[in-house]
């Protein structure tokens, strides 16, 4: 079984957008043991798309299309596939209903051309679009499988995970790959790799692949076995050997995130939280409130971007701002303590520092202090020396804050 990705869109040929869908799908297909030999990009042109389909039919078992399912005239992926495989297009009631509901919900005026999005290939399995209007499709015809997916990544990615992978799995080889990702924070990629070098070099099943993500390091353990349980047993053994060495930096698995782990720990402890953000400008609070249902423990915060707000709203004395400065251990401590009092929360967390590009108070970009305070708790201030662009420094500060708050609540 081998797959070919055919991305449809003139905007790709003009370089207006980057073909991130191809990378996403390639990773997903590799993970389920699906081979891929070719990828194609073709514009919004029926004849050339038709010929790309015919070329792919010669060399692939599974043709995966992204893009060209929208409402406009130049969206012609399904129309062209219908001609190529001798199928026809029929209206799908569920899709039609969800499109009409979408317009009802948003109060926007329904335009006729949107109905086009509810047309599907006759005899195809329809994949609902939980994040947009155009549904996806899976069609088996003459020993070939045709998968049609919308172009916008925000629609395509969840559709693949929820509906397409389960549709494809029966087609993949018996001996499939099973992966587990171990997530670490506070240790560099090279340091992690050095510590585990002998394991990484000698391991074959599962393999150990280090991967540096933004602000953290992950290890992907991938075992090849017909039985999922046996694969997991193989992975368990290697995981134990790894955590014996670097367990202190380990925080979670697979889709775990610092954000998610911190939120569930706060829910468990029943402690309430408030934030005081200077250099992060709201980034920490925004990440916490990305998760639904945090209002039970997250009261809110103060974005104290200017010193006036630090002084008049959060009560950092002018003297401290003059002598120690806004970017200091003293300010970080007072911001954390006072925001917890002002918002009547059990814990206050503060972020103050220099995001750059320029210096502040004679302190270089990357100088950051994170404060954690609360009733019956000795105030903790973590001084950080971060590197990177302005936005990287802000994001790393936010992540270190989550990490240290998590460790403090956990310990």
CA-wise closest residue to 43 among 80, 71, 2: 80
Residue matched to tokens 């099943």 = 205
The residue from 88, 94, 108, 253 that contacts a copy of itself (CB under 8 A) is 108
Give Dmax over CA atoms of the chain in angstroms.
80
Q: Does residue 36 interact with a copy of itself by CB under 8 A? A: yes
Q: How far apart are CA 181 and CA 355, in angstroms?
A: 31
In the list 131, 140, 144, 407, the residue contacting a copy of itself (rule: CB under 8 A) is 131
Cβ atoms 403, 372 nearer than 8 A: no
> Cα separation of 153 and 180, whole Å?
24
Which of 127, 284, 351, 400 forms a contact with a copy of itself (CB under 8 A)? 284
> What character string, x for contact with a copy of itself (CB under 8 A) and - otherwise, covers 185-224?
---xxxx-xx------x-------xxxx-x-----x----
Q: Distances from the Cα of 185 to the Cαs of 182, 212, 249, in angstroms?
A: 10, 10, 5
Residue with tokens 């209007």: 133
Write down the H helix ranges in 142-224.
153-159, 165-168, 189-202
Q: Among residues 290, 322, 359, 410, which is the contact residue for a copy of itself, using CB under 8 A? A: 290
β-strand partners of 217? 184, 212
Residue 366 binds a copy of itself (CB under 8 A): yes
122/286 with CB nearer a copy of itself: 286
Sign of the dihedral defined by the CA atoms of residues 229, 231, 237, 239, in that order: negative
Choices 65-73, 85-93, 137-145, 329-337 (CB under 8 A): range interacting with a copy of itself: 65-73
Among 358, 362, 376, 411, indicate the residue that binds a copy of itself (CB under 8 A). Answer: 358
User: Measured from the CB atom, is 42 or 402 closer to a copy of itself?
Assistant: 42
Query: DSSP assignment, residue 236?
Result: H
The number of C-alpha atoms within 13 Å of 356 and in the hemisphere containing its C-beta is 18
Q: Report if residue 26 touches a copy of itself, rule: CB under 8 A.
A: yes
Q: How far is the CB of 69 from a copy of itself (least distance, A)?
A: 12
* Least distance to a copy of itself, CB of residue 342, Å: 7
Smallest gap from Cβ 352 to a copy of itself, in A, equals 12
Which is closer to a copy of itself, CB of 260 or CB of 388? 388
Q: Which stretch binds a copy of itself (CB under 8 A): 45-53, 163-171, 241-249, 262-270?
A: 45-53
Q: Which stretch binds a copy of itself (CB under 8 A): 68-76, 81-89, 246-254, 259-267?
A: 68-76
Whether the bond into 90 is cis, omega within 30 of 0:
no
> Nearer Cβ to a copy of itself, position 18 or 229?
18
Helix or strand (DSSP H, E) at 225: strand 216-225
Closest approach, Cβ 184 to a copy of itself, in A, equals 14
Distance CA 91, CA 118 (A): 6
Where are the alpha helices (H) located in 164-227, listed in sequence order? 165-168, 189-202
Identify which of residues 139 and 397 has a Cβ nearer to a copy of itself in the complex: 397
388 binds a copy of itself, rule: CB under 8 A = yes
CB hemisphere CA count around 252 (13 angstroms): 16
Beta bridge partners of 121: 89
CA distance 214 to 389: 12
Stretch that binds a copy of itself, among 61-69, 166-174, 226-234, 385-393 (CB under 8 A): 385-393
Task: Report yes or no: 8 and 44 within 8 Å, Cβ to Cβ.
Answer: yes
If one asks whether residue 341 binds a copy of itself (CB under 8 A), the answer comes out as no
Q: Which of residues 250-269 bind a copy of itself (CB under 8 A)?
A: none
Residue among 88 and 391 whose Cβ is closer to a copy of itself: 391
Instruction: Pick the stretch among 230-238, 317-325, 368-376, 382-390 that binds a copy of itself (CB under 8 A).
Output: 382-390
What is the footprint of a copy of itself within residues 71-100 (CB under 8 A)?
71-74
């Amino acid at each position: 079984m081998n797959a070919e990705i055919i991305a449809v869109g003139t905007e790709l040929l003009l370089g207006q957008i980057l073909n991130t869908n191809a990378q996403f799908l390639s990773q997903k297909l590799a993970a389920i043991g699906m081979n891929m030999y070719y990828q194609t990009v073709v514009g919004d042109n029926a004849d050339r798309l038709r010929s790309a389909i015919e070329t792919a039919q010669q060399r692939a078992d599974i043709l995966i299309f992204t893009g060209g399912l929208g409402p406009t005239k130049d969206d012609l992926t399904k129309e062209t596939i219908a001609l190529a495989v001798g199928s026809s297009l029929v209206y799908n009631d569920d899709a039609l209903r969800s499109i009409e509901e979408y317009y009802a919900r948003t109060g926007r005026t329904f335009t006729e051309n949107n109905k086009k999005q509810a047309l599907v290939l006759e005899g195809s399995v329809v994949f609902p679009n939980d994040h947009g209007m155009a549904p996806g499709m899976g069609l088996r015809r003459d020993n070939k499988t045709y998968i049609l997916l919308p172009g916008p990544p925000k629609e395509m990615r969840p559709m693949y995970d929820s509906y397409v992978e389960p549709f494809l799995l029966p087609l993949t080889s018996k001996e499939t790959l099973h992966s587990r990702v171990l997530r670490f924070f506070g240790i560099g990629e090279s340091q992690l790799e050095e510590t585990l070098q002998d394991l990484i070099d000698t391991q074959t099943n599962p393999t150990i692949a280090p991967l540096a993500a933004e602000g953290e390091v992950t290890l992907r353990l991938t075992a090849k076995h017909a039985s999922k349980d046996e694969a997991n047993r193989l992975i368990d053994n290697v995981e134990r050997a790894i955590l014996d060495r670097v367990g202190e930096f380990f925080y979670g698995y697979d889709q775990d995130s610092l954000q998610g782990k911190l939120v569930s720990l706060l829910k468990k402890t029943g402690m309430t939280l408030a934030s005081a953000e200077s250099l992060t400008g709201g980034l920490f609070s925004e990440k916490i409130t990305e998760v639904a249902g945090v209002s039970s423990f997250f009261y809110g915060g103060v974005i104290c971007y200017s010193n006036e707000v630090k002084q008049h709203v959060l009560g950092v004395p002018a003297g401290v701002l003059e002598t120690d400065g806004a970017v200091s251990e003293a300010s970080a401590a007072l911001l954390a303590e006072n925001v917890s009092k002002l918002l009547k929360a059990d814990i206050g967390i503060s972020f103050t520092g220099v995001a750059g590009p320029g210096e502040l108070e004679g302190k270089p970009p990357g100088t950051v202090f994170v404060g954690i305070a609360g009733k019956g708790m000795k105030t903790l201030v973590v001084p950080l020396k971060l590197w990177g662009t302005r936005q990287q420094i802000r994001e790393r500060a936010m992540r270190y804050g989550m990490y240290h708050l998590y460790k403090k609540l956990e310990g």
